[in-house]
Chains A and B, each alone.
Chain A
Amino acid sequence: MSKTRESYVRPLDLKHGRVELAHGSGGRAMAQLIEELFARHFDNAYLRQGDDGAVLPMPRVDNANGVPVPAGRLVMSTDAHVVSPLFFPGGDIGSLAVHGTINDVAMMGATPLWLSASFILEEGFALADLARIVVSMAQASREAGVPVVTGDTKVVEQGKADGVYITTAGIGVLAEGVTLSGNRARPGDLVLLSGSIGEHGMAIMAARENLEFASPIVSDSAALHGLVAAMLATGADIRCLRDPTRGGVATTLNEIARQSGVGMLLDEAAIPVQPAVAGVCEFLGLDPLYVANEGKLLAVVAAADAERVLAVMRAHPLGQHAARIGEVIVDSHHFVQMTTGLGGTRIVDWLNGDPLPRIC
């Protein structure tokens, strides 16, 4: 045993300290940041291995007889997060980074199992803010039951980034027989939406523009894999699931229409929008159909099964306001059309340009 006394390492100053270039240099400072912040809050057996990557068990799924067998198919997805501001009503970049990737995996019909997280930090970023983000991220991950099993940290010079960017990747496992894809919508199918739209985008926008309202708009950021599991458990013929993030419901439905070579006809009156969101949208000249959501999903479902799926959605806390908002129709132009509340018809086009940059 060495007689040399272990040198004293002053703990990270999480109150007044700031990110320094050394925190990304690969040396002791980085090891300390990882140990005292990331590893401490994300703590789990895979991360504790402390190696360059996580060694994970082969996931198992139940076969037709209910016997667990090695999974035949995995789903992997990744999502970068650059939202500004970093903290907003209803969440922050940390919880968003967890929910965003879990939802991408869940929209494939998979059960998300593990996440990776990579941080790009700007020199000078307050460690207190970083700690707040990591704590929130760890909590979101714990609540979702999807651990962060590996990660990375880089630091760039001041002015080369905006505080913190977080990229997460997720791996999930697909049960046998589940095949969801944007190319499976067929004329006659119905379009279901899990709740009111535009809350995330408008929460960010209101925070950015310092808009004050009687009741603040709260981001809907949430992990949707539980809702998806409940929907899939019905055994209904669900053709496709998508979370309408950037570009909103309008853009997501256009993607599906193009992929499937179909058209859609929506009913504006059936699309739930909170009055506060409708109000801010009006104020800023935006259409809620194009505003980002982070805790909503769209489902294209065979007409015969739609009521059953809708009932299950409404029974779930994240789908209480689920609604049938339209149907899939034959259209060689792949237009998404909508009967307006007024009683006319119009196209709901792809998002044009980017009225709301850095929303997620």
Chain B
Amino acid sequence: MEPSKKRANVLRYIDEFRDGNHARGIAAAIARATRPDRQYAFMEFCGGHTHAISRHGVTDLLPQNLRMVHGPGCPVCVLPIGRIDMAIDLALTHGAIVCSYGDCLRVPASGGLSMMKVRAAVSKGGGDIRMVYSAADALKTAQDNPERQVVFFAIGFETTTPPTAVVIKQAAALGLKNFSVFCCHVLTPPAMHHILATRQPSDIVLDGFVGPAHVSTVIGSAPYAVFATHYRKPVVIAGFEPLDVMQAILMLLRQVNEGRAEIENEFTRAVTPEGNRKAQALMAEVLELRDEFEWRGLGVMPHSALKIRSEFATFDAERRFGLAYRVVPDNKACECGAILRGVKRPQDCAIFGTVCTPENPVGSCMVSSEGACAAHYSYGRYRS
């Protein structure tokens, strides 16, 4: 099959996973499975799920005593201000072309800056920050600008990590002298650990997780086993379509009602227990665990992020430019931290929708469309 045709066929399967009739059927099953004498709370870890729930109005199809708690699985949201400052520094102080995914550009940094503002002032002492759609675009930018240093600002969970490893290997093979990667990739399981391990008695009790979709295509379903065995929390890995989410909720409900805590896979069309071995090998070859990494909201977590191995040190922007990380506290009024831990809801934040809006975000959760605040603001604020 020719590639273009293949893609067009893949894209046909959209309506099937958004069908209203099926949704009503699953909603009825969820209603039947929900015991009226108790409350249920499930965390959807991924911003992709948060977005799907909000965009398709899934909440309207769920019973009153079942609450979805938004998790920290939004790559832009968990990036602390200090890391954005470093990216800006690369452009401003080191004169590098910084290639970034578009979502990052609007995240507020120190001193009232953002990458977008730095970029807008490029001809007046600002920095050369460019939006890219992929790691490969960044590599191409380096090839097209041999006289300039080009840095790829690599962010994201395990989903976007393999492509970063690929471009580092490609740059090494090409012997590129002007390309490096500012690696801020983070890992999903440590964040889930943290959320469960730091839960306070006053926090809402989580009955289970809707597990990551795309992340799980890479790491597989096996790494979640510990949440069932150690924490007794069911995890159902689900695709990013609204019917996937609803089916996963139904599966979680059944586990809770039956007193089971297992790892189940609703997303069998893409996720296997062992995941994508090739991608895992690539990551392991180029990247290794950091001793610790600061996340916005979740704080400093050990072994929760990746850095570039010393064999590829020449492509590590932190080493090449001698960057140092500096902790920058969040805006005092901003509740992003508590929202990312699933302790507060967007509407619990005093500045939600007033001072902090998608046009003028104060916290990172209002920036990305996967952020809990942006999703609630854009799709659901008529409810509050």
Contacts and interface: CB of A to CB of B under 8 A. Distances in A.
A joins B in a complex = yes
Chain B facing A: main interface SS:
helix
A341 B20 CA distance: 6
Interface residues of A, number: 31
A341 B19 contact: yes
A337 B382 CA distance: 9
B61 A342 contact: yes
A347 B382 contact: yes
A214 B8 contact: yes
Interface residues of B, number: 38
Chain A facing B: main interface SS:
loop
A353 B20 contact: no
A209 B58 contact: no
B147 interface: no
A173 to B, nearest CB: 39
A214 B8 CA distance: 6
Interface stretch (B10-18, B85-93, B172-180, B211-219): B10-18
Contact of B378 (A276, A333, A352): A352
Contacts of A352: 358-359, 374, 378
Interface stretch (B49-57, B184-192, B251-259, B289-297): B49-57
A346 B58 CA distance: 9
23 contacts: A212-B3, A212-B7, A213-B4, A215-B8, A278-B11, A279-B12, A287-B55, A335-B382, A340-B56, A341-B15, A342-B19, A342-B56, A342-B57, A342-B243, A343-B20, A343-B23, A343-B24, A343-B60, A345-B57, A346-B380, A347-B380, A352-B378, A353-B358
Nearest to A275: B12
Contacts of B7: 212-213, 283
A341 B379 contact: no
Given A279-B12, A342-B20, 15 more contacts: A209-B133, A212-B4, A275-B12, A283-B7, A285-B369, A340-B55, A340-B57, A342-B23, A342-B57, A342-B58, A343-B60, A344-B59, A344-B61, A346-B57, A347-B378
Contacts of B20: 269, 341-343
A290 B104 CA distance: 21
Interface in A135-179: none
Interface of B: 3-5, 7-8, 11-12, 14-15, 18-20, 23-24, 27, 54-61, 102, 106, 133, 242-243, 358-359, 369, 374, 377-382
A333 to B, nearest CB: 7
Interface in A317-360: 333, 335, 337, 339-347, 349, 352-353, 355
Nearest to A287: B55
A341 B378 CA distance: 18
A212 B2 CA distance: 11
Given A341-B20, A343-B61, A349 B14 contact: no
A287 B51 CA distance: 12
A346 B54 contact: yes
Contacts of B380: 346-347
B242 A342 contact: yes
Interface string A268-298: 0100000110111011010100000000000
Contacts of B5: 214
A344 B378 CA distance: 15
A209 to B, nearest CB: 7
Contacts of B59: 344
Contact of A349 (B19, B61, B378): B378
Contacts of A269: 20
